[in-house]
Amino acid sequence: MEEYLLNLLKDNYEIDQYKKIIDGYKENKYTTFRINLLKANKEIVLKEFKTYNYELEEVNWCNYAYVVKKEGNKPIRELDSYLNGYIYLQSLSSMLPVIVLDPKKEETILDMAASPGSKTTQMAMVVQNKALITAVEKNKIRENRLKYNLNKQGVTSVTVLNMDATKIDDLFSFDKVLLDSPCSGSGTITKSNQNYNMFNEQNLANLKKTQVALLTKALKVLKKGHTLVYSTCSILPLENEEVLKEVKKQIDFAFLPMELDETIPLLPTSIPLTKCICPSKYYEGFFLAHLIKK
């Protein structure tokens, strides 16, 4: 399985890019989190981290995100800030789809594959619980996890649907859609997480089929002239550009530019304006596309 993934990466990237990806896999990732501004302010949270001698770095492109540069003398999951839902542990790459989508108050927003709720809770926080967010999760166990996190984070503006998002009625209509699609996770491999079970031809074909179905549905329920973010934690074009190209044959949409911070390491993509983040000490491998429905 490991060899299958490595061969896919070699087939899709130049040798220097391939080496950059492998080096990124081998890095010990920094722990990163965001402050939950629905329940706490920065001063309260940062004071606790200082009390336990943590060394933090503020993320220059997100004023509520932090990197743990040095662990403190009390585990982060035992801090009051974590237990009370004042912070949410989340990768920096995972925060980007919501920042690109830019949700606004009073909008109707669909989160198509919502559990465990990282981006759902982030959206609710950004709009201060003043948007109508519909979060879909078909797996019952994962739906329970989503509801737990919504409650812990103080989210009150989300309706949870336990269903297959591809079955949403086409009569629904949303101002914005976030589709952080199920994927192989090829961007998330680390020293401690080397799960290669997803990487075989049949699994990837099944995933692509699901991704195409989800994106097709997302565009059908998105209002014309409105925007959608498609993202995955994969760096394989099969799950990213190829999905977009296939869906574009059926539904007309255009790509919008994304202004990502220049410090974010990128890999090349075959579609202009899309972004693929290279695995590194700070970032998971991740793909982003910002679409507008014509």
Could you list the active site residues?
233
Domains along the chain with CATH numbers: 2-29+91-293 (3.40.50.150), 31-89 (3.30.70.1170)
pTM: 0.96
- For 59, the 3-state DSSP assignment is coil
Residues 6 or more apart from 210 whose CB is under 8 A from it? 166, 181, 182
- Copy the structure tokens of residue 143: 């739906």
Q: Specify the pLDDT at position 1.
A: 55
pLDDT of residue 269: 98
Exposed e or buried b per residue across 20-32, where buried means at least 16 C-beta atoms within 10 angstroms of its C-beta: bbeebbeeebbeb
**Segments in the chain below pLDDT 50:** none
> What is the length of the chain?
294
Name every residue whose Cβ is closer than 8 Å to that of residue 33 and which is 6 or more positions away in sequence.
65, 66, 68, 76, 87, 88, 89, 90
Write out the H or E segment, with its range, that includes residue 134. strand 132-136
pLDDT tens-digit readout, 132-150: 999 999 999 999 999 999 9
How confident is the model at residue 194, as a pLDDT? 67
Residue 8 neighbours by CB under 8 Å, 6+ apart: 186, 199, 236, 238
pLDDT per residue as tens digits for the range 19-58: 999 999 999 999 999 999 999 999 999 999 999 999 999 9
